[in-house]
């Protein structure tokens, strides 16, 4: 029910995901009056793996998270998370109120042993055709050194077990590469990570290396992560829109216009992997269950990508693997 | 003497700036043995407005700022700042150690009344063909609400008096637009700015609006500002380099290659105003004098841009105007 468009986007995205993943089953939690009409044209091969779970209310996207959590009984978001808690579903995907989702997820699914607070993680494509795990993207506006270390461990598990990067490089986002730079929390986390034999810690990385592939895991507090990711998205969107508008000059000959468009298409294909739509879906890591937060503004393709991310996290047993790694690492670093 | 290239870049940049600004006089502070040979070929019309001031030592770019400040006597950076302090120069431009420059500048030039700590400011071009003043870019890793308010005032003066934007819009960088979002320091600063009649405060702006022209002045702490700006630079550089490499396929016909290059040139021209080289030069605001920090990696064109920014700040009397505005605003907000 959530996000800027609600079922108009999430229902077609659900059918798209079901069509491309034959093992996938989806429970659509929300207002049946709004969801059911959108299923009318669906193929029975798809609707057979889809069930509508009615919910009385929806948490508003602008509701204050603490209030939303208090008044959440009967809401689509809470019911979806309860389905995960009770084992009826293995993951919850939402485009709704981020703060409420994090609060409710923490309340209902509980953090893993050794995790103080869950973190929002996403996987970004980089220039070397590989991928970088980035966290926290905004689950926690502040993070002390212990939390940064926990984020680093969770990120390393994601990189190793989901992206299949052997011995993934882990870096802290900072404002310089010298050890003396930055905030106390970052310097203290660096000291702990440096001493750990379980984490391949490579030092500080600066904002300009976000997309260069210098590291496999990039760790920061949620305020910095959110600002950084949104800055990147803003610049990428601006370039893509400039590329698009570039083909629309008035004075050029038709054959020049055609050629121009052809070259721009090639450029857009090359840049397209950085389009925010393609990596939509931030994973709330550190809980006893999988929770994926989609952009509120996600379109059908982007929301389908979020569903696919959930499917992958479940298949790769991300929570279980993080729990196992935490057990191996944390006692030693105490 | 500073930066990645030293006099090899700064001396030709100085001559370039002198050639385009006939009122400009420059003092080159550093090792005469390294500077003088680079002046051999210069036009006398230029060298007549240029003087070499010898300095015994250079502060290393990787020196710890506090130590560098303690051992700064006789260094080119300190002598340059002393020339400003004593009125022999009106501005100091350096590509050297940022921390040392800020420390020494604060020590020698002193903050203006009402300013706790100076801030690094730059002017970014935005999509609406206008400009945005962004600060702090890293002078202070943390900023409380009082500092953020001081940054807002300094930014508003820059926008109004240097960029000639009437009643400039001032925003705080945050991770959401709702009033409840973000860090305490930001929320407290928002309350003070909202109550001020002297500042046209428009609320929070997110990272994705850095280049959209939604605000004329964007205020944040130095850690966030540094990460944000570097993220933007990294993405812009990546796009520009992809655009460049795009013309180098092997299989295409020569006429297609030529046409491709022509279109890419047009694209680069359109994107080029975001090239970090073109807006190099962060201004250290809040001091009784003008200090410009150039990128360490600046090339000749970029360093010349930093010199021109200093020339403009002096001509527009930025420190004097900030002092006047502070006097008008700060007593009221106390």
Query: If you count residue pairs, one on A and one on B, with CB atoms under 8 Å apart, how many are there?
Result: 140
A312 assigned to some structural domain:
no
Q: For position B43, what pLDDT does the model report?
A: 86
B268: Cβ–Cβ under 8 A, 6 or more apart, which residues? Answer: B240, B243, B244
Same domain, B153 and B279: yes
What is the nearest CA distance from A226 to chain B, expressed in angstroms? 6
Q: Which tens digits make up the pLDDT trace of A223-269? A: 999 999 999 988 888 877 776 665 555 566 666 666 666 666 666 66
A131: left (phi over 0), alpha (psi -120 to 50) or beta: beta
Q: For position B334, what pLDDT does the model report?
A: 45
Please provide residue A75's backbone torsions phi and psi, each rounded to the nearest 5 degrees. -80, 155
Q: What is the DSSP letter of A148?
A: H
User: Among A109, A144, A172, which residue terminates a domain?
Assistant: A109
Q: Which residues of A are less than 8 Å from B239 in CB distance?
A: 235, 239, 271
Q: For position B251, what pLDDT does the model report?
A: 60
Closest alpha carbon within chain A to B227: A207
DSSP-assigned letters across all residues of B209-267: GTTTTS-SEEE--HHHHHHHHHHHHHHHHHHHHHHHHGGG-SSS-HHHHHHHHHHHHHH
Q: For position A334, what pLDDT does the model report?
A: 45
**Across the interface, which of B227, B259, B270 has its CB nearest the CB of A242?**
B270
Same domain, A15 and A51: yes
Distance CA A160, CA A306 (A): 20
Same domain, B54 and B149: no
Q: For position B177, what pLDDT does the model report?
A: 81
Same domain, B73 and B132: no
Among candidates B119, B150, B155, which has minimal Cα distance to B137?
Answer: B119
User: Among B49, B75, B109, which residue terminates a domain?
Assistant: B109
Q: For position A128, what pLDDT does the model report?
A: 81
User: What CATH number did the domain enclosing A265 receive?
Assistant: 3.40.718.10
Q: Which residues of B are less than 8 Å from A275 in CB distance?
A: none
Mean pLDDT of all residues belonging to chain A: 88
Report yes or no: A46 and A19 within 8 Å, Cβ to Cβ.
yes
DSSP-assigned letters across all residues of B126-137: -TTS-EEEEE-S
User: Among A75, A109, A143, which residue terminates a domain?
Assistant: A109
A311 assigned to some structural domain:
no
Same domain, B124 and B85: no
- Reading chain A (334 residues) residue by residue, the pLDDT tens digits are 998 999 999 999 999 999 999 999 999 999 999 999 999 888 888 989 999 999 999 999 888 888 999 999 999 999 999 999 999 999 999 999 988 999 999 999 999 999 999 999 998 888 887 899 999 998 888 999 999 999 999 999 999 988 999 999 999 999 988 777 889 999 999 999 999 888 999 999 999 999 899 999 999 999 999 999 999 988 888 877 776 665 555 566 666 666 666 666 666 666 666 666 666 779 999 999 999 999 888 899 999 999 999 999 999 999 999 998 888 776 554 4
ipTM of the complex, rounded to two decimals: 0.84
Q: Which residues of B are less than 8 Å from A229 in CB distance?
A: 207
Q: Which residues of A are less than 8 Å from B253 in CB distance?
A: none
Task: Decide the pairing of beta strands B26-30 and B91-94.
Answer: unpaired
Helix (H) or strand (E) holding A78: helix A76-85
Q: For position A333, what pLDDT does the model report?
A: 46
A291 assigned to some structural domain:
no
B294 assigned to some structural domain:
no
Same domain, B9 and B81: yes
Same domain, A208 and A92: no
Same domain, B131 and B90: no
Give the mutation candidate from A124, A172, A230 for the B interface (greatest B CB count, under 10 A): A230
Among candidates A298, A286, A311, A305, which has minimal Cα distance to A135?
Answer: A286
B147 assigned to some structural domain:
yes
**Across the interface, which of A235, A237, A271 has its CB nearest the CB of B236?**
A235
What is the nearest CA distance from A113 to chain B, expressed in angstroms? 27
A135 assigned to some structural domain:
yes
Contact A238 B211 (CB under 8 A): yes
Same domain, A142 and A272: yes
Same domain, A151 and A88: no
Among candidates B11, B20, B4, which has minimal Cα distance to B52?
Answer: B11
Cis check: omega of the bond before B136, within 30 degrees of 0 = yes
What is the nearest CA distance from A254 to chain B, expressed in angstroms? 14
Distance CA B324, CA B160 (A): 13
**Across the interface, which of B229, B263, B271 has its CB nearest the CB of A242?**
B271
* Residue A48 lies in domain: 1-109
Q: Which residues of B are less than 8 Å from A235 in CB distance?
A: 210-211, 231-232, 235-236, 239
**Across the interface, which of A173, A234, A260 has its CB nearest the CB of B208?**
A234
Among candidates A107, A103, A75, A77, which has minimal Cα distance to A92?
Answer: A77
| Count of structural domains within chain A | 2
Q: For position B158, what pLDDT does the model report?
A: 92
With a cut of 50, list the residues of chain B below it in pLDDT. 333-334
Q: Which residues of A are less than 8 Å from B224 in CB distance?
A: 223-224, 227
Report yes or no: A154 and A286 within 8 Å, Cβ to Cβ.
yes
Q: What is the DSSP letter of A160?
A: I
What is the nearest CA distance from A39 to chain B, expressed in angstroms? 34
Same domain, A99 and A123: no
Q: Tokens for A91? A: 């993951």
What is the nearest CA distance from A64 to chain B, expressed in angstroms? 8
Same domain, B226 and B313: yes
A58 assigned to some structural domain:
yes
Q: Which residues of A are less than 8 Å from B263 in CB distance?
A: 246, 259-260, 263-264
B291 assigned to some structural domain:
no
Q: Which tens digits make up the pLDDT trace of B280-298? A: 779 999 999 999 999 888 8
Q: For position A193, what pLDDT does the model report?
A: 95
């Amino acid at each position: 029910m959530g996000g800027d468009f609600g079922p108009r986007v999430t229902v077609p995205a659900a059918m798209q995901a079901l069509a491309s993943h034959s093992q996938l089953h989806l429970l659509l939690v929300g207002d049946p009056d709004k969801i059911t009409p959108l299923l009318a044209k669906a193929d029975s091969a798809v609707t057979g793996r889809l069930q509508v779970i009615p919910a009385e209310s929806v948490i508003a996207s602008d509701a204050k998270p603490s209030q939303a959590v208090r008044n959440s009984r009967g809401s689509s978001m809470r019911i979806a998370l309860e389905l995960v808690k009770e084992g009826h579903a293995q993951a919850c995907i939402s485009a709704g109120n981020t703060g409420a989702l994090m609060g409710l997820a923490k309340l209902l699914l509980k953090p893993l042993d050794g995790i103080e607070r869950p973190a929002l993680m996403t996987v970004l494509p980089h220039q070397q055709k590989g991928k970088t795990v980035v966290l926290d993207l905004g689950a926690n506006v502040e993070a002390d050194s212990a939390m940064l270390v926990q984020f680093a461990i969770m990120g390393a598990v994601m990189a190793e077990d989901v992206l299949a990067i052997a011995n993934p490089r882990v870096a802290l986002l900072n404002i310089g590469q010298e050890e003396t730079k930055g905030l106390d929390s970052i310097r203290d986390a660096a000291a702990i990570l440096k001493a750990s034999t379980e984490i391949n810690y490579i030092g500080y990385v600066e904002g300009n290396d976000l997309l260069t592939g210098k590291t496999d895991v990039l760790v920061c507090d949620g305020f910095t992560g959110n600002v950084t990711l949104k800055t990147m998205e803003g610049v990428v969107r601006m370039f893509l829109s400039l590329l698009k508008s570039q083909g629309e000059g008035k004075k050029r000959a038709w054959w020049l216009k055609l050629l121009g468009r052809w070259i721009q298409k090639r450029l857009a294909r090359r840049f397209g992997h950085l389009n925010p739509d393609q990596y939509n879906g931030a994973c709330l890591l550190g809980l006893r269950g999988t929770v994926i937060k989609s952009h509120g503004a996600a379109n059908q393709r982007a929301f389908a990508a979020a569903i696919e991310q959930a499917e992958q996290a479940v298949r790769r047993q991300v929570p279980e693997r993080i729990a196992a790694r935490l057990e191996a690492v944390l006692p030693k670093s105490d």
